[in-house]
Amino acid sequence: MNIALFVETYAPYINGVATHVKLLKQNFERLGHKVLVVTASPNHRHHTVIDDVLYCPAKPMKRLYGFGLASPVSRTRTQILQAFNPDVIHIHQEFGVGFFGLKMGKLLNVPVIYTMHTMYDEYLHYISPVAQVMPITKELVHKYSKYFGKSADVIVGPSDKVVDYFRVCGVRKKVIVMPNGVNTDEYGEDNINRDLVKKVKARCGIPEGKTVACFAGRLAKEKSIDMLLSYWTENFKNSDDLHLLIIGDGPVKPELEAQAKKLNIYSNVTFAGAQPHNEMPAYYAQCDAFVTLSLTEMHSISMLEAMASGLVILQRRDVRNSGQIEEGVNGYLYDDSAQFGKILRSVASLSQEQKRDLRHQVSNSARRYGTAELAKKLIDVYSGAIERHIK
């Protein structure tokens, strides 16, 4: 099968969707399929194919973390896709590249699968920073999402939030809920580079004997890391045995660092910055728990990676996205600062042997989210869509 995957950002760019598509490409190829990734690239002046990835020239969008916005039309790109002759098109993001993918599906008369990875209602402040025009922006985004949803042959989403979103947008089509996947072997204890673990430990400067909680992801308003720092202050400001490690970069990093200093917790909070994806297992090896207050996630890939590393998850309760956590097995849900503090203290009170047992339990729970199985499920979705499209 020839599979074309359309995504606005791709490796070496670091984010959940880029990682997701890269893993899909690897697993589809292991299954014997041919894959072409189509992505936008501000670093390429011309359309360039490298290792079965088509990099499309794009204008840098600094406001959106350096994303590149590619033109939705291109004769060169069309010719490359025609030569590839895809059996199916799978769109993972909805801007210039994604819109082009939708049009190519019609031009080439092949089924289009559309996975919504992002709840755009939570990101409107990037598109429309002026509060007065936010309702208009929201209406336009819903109309655009409705167009994508109705145009695609199949809609896929990682959580029930996608179902809710499309119903609000007026799309009644069935949504296949298919949780994200992770390369569990990459984060397995037996595969971790111990020399790198030592280097990372020295780099982070976390004292021995600390229970370490971490957050990994984009440092942006919608991730509610400012609230995480407030919770940390309320519960652990004067604690000598807990430390918070924040991994990632983003537009609010300077504000968060200033907040930590103002709250007088900078000594037990480490801002590690953005790290290469292949070093993340070594960072997770420093930690005991993964903590998040974000309510914008849809089966977070960062959480999956942390789980595969054995980190117990503390997630603020989000009813339509709570299926990722099995309470008491791989994590806990909380509603407020007091519950957050109580749960993390209970993790810190465990003996080293109990912490090791918990790591094994959590990492084992992540195995059901392996990318190999996800790839096989998507191949079934593609085959069904192709069969229906032919009829």
Per-residue confidence (pLDDT) for residue 230, from 0 to 100:
98
In 201-305, at which residue ranges do the beta strands (DSSP E only) sit?
A: 211-216, 242-247, 269-273, 289-292
SS3 263: coil
Residues 165 and 37 in one domain: yes
Residues 237 and 357 in one domain: yes
Number of domains in the chain: 2
Residues 351 and 381 in one domain: no
CB 87 within 8 A of CB 386: yes
SS3 1: coil
Per-residue confidence (pLDDT) for residue 277, from 0 to 100:
87
Per-residue confidence (pLDDT) for residue 321, from 0 to 100:
78
| Over residues 229-243, mean pLDDT | 93
Per-residue confidence (pLDDT) for residue 64, from 0 to 100:
56
What is the model's pTM? Answer: 0.89
| Residue 126: pLDDT band with limits 50, 70, 90 | low
Residues 305 and 211 in one domain: yes
Range with the poorest average pLDDT among 58-62, 231-235, 364-368, 384-388: 58-62
High-pLDDT (> 70) share of the chain, %: 95
| Over residues 135-148, mean pLDDT | 88
Residue 335 scores a pLDDT above 80: yes
Residues 6+ apart with CB under 8 A from 144: 94
User: Around 140, how many Cα atoms within 13 Å sit in the side-chain half-sphere?
Assistant: 8
Residues 112 and 176 in one domain: yes
CB 69 within 8 A of CB 98: no
pLDDT tens figures, 268-291? 999 999 999 889 999 999 999 999
Range with the poorest average pLDDT among 39-43, 131-135, 243-247: 131-135
Range with the poorest average pLDDT among 5-9, 115-119, 173-177, 321-325: 321-325
Per-residue confidence (pLDDT) for residue 85, from 0 to 100:
98
| Over residues 163-170, mean pLDDT | 93
Planar angle of CA 324, 326, 330, nearest 5 degrees: 90
Query: Rounded to the nearest 5°, which phi and psi values hold at 7?
Result: -150, 140
Residue 170 scores a pLDDT above 90: yes
Residues 230 and 315 in one domain: yes
CATH code of the domain covering residue 6: 3.40.50.2000
Per-residue confidence (pLDDT) for residue 128, from 0 to 100:
59
Rg (CA), the chain: 21
Sheet of strand 211-216: strand arrangement: 269-273, 242-247, 211-216, 289-292, 312-316, 331-334
Residues 83 and 197 in one domain: no
Residues 51 and 68 in one domain: yes
Residues 218 and 303 in one domain: yes
Residue 129 scores a pLDDT above 80: no
Helix (H), strand (E) at residue 384: helix 371-390
Residues 346 and 385 in one domain: no
Look over the chain and give the mean of its residue pLDDT values, rounded to a whole number.
91
Residues 32 and 172 in one domain: yes
pLDDT tens figures, 290-326? 999 999 888 889 999 999 999 999 999 988 777 789 9
Query: Rounded to the nearest 5°, which phi and psi values hold at 178?
Result: -135, 105
SS3 221: helix
| Residue 178: pLDDT band with limits 50, 70, 90 | very high
Q: Which amino acid would we find at residue 61?
A: M
| Residue 132: pLDDT band with limits 50, 70, 90 | low
Helix (H), strand (E) at residue 2: strand 2-7
| Over residues 193-222, mean pLDDT | 91
Residues 160 and 297 in one domain: no
Range with the poorest average pLDDT among 72-81, 329-338, 366-375: 366-375
Per-residue confidence (pLDDT) for residue 67, from 0 to 100:
74
Structural domain span for residue 353: 186-368
Per-residue confidence (pLDDT) for residue 102, from 0 to 100:
96
Residues 6+ apart with CB under 8 A from 16: 117, 180, 217, 300, 301, 302
| Residue 133: pLDDT band with limits 50, 70, 90 | low
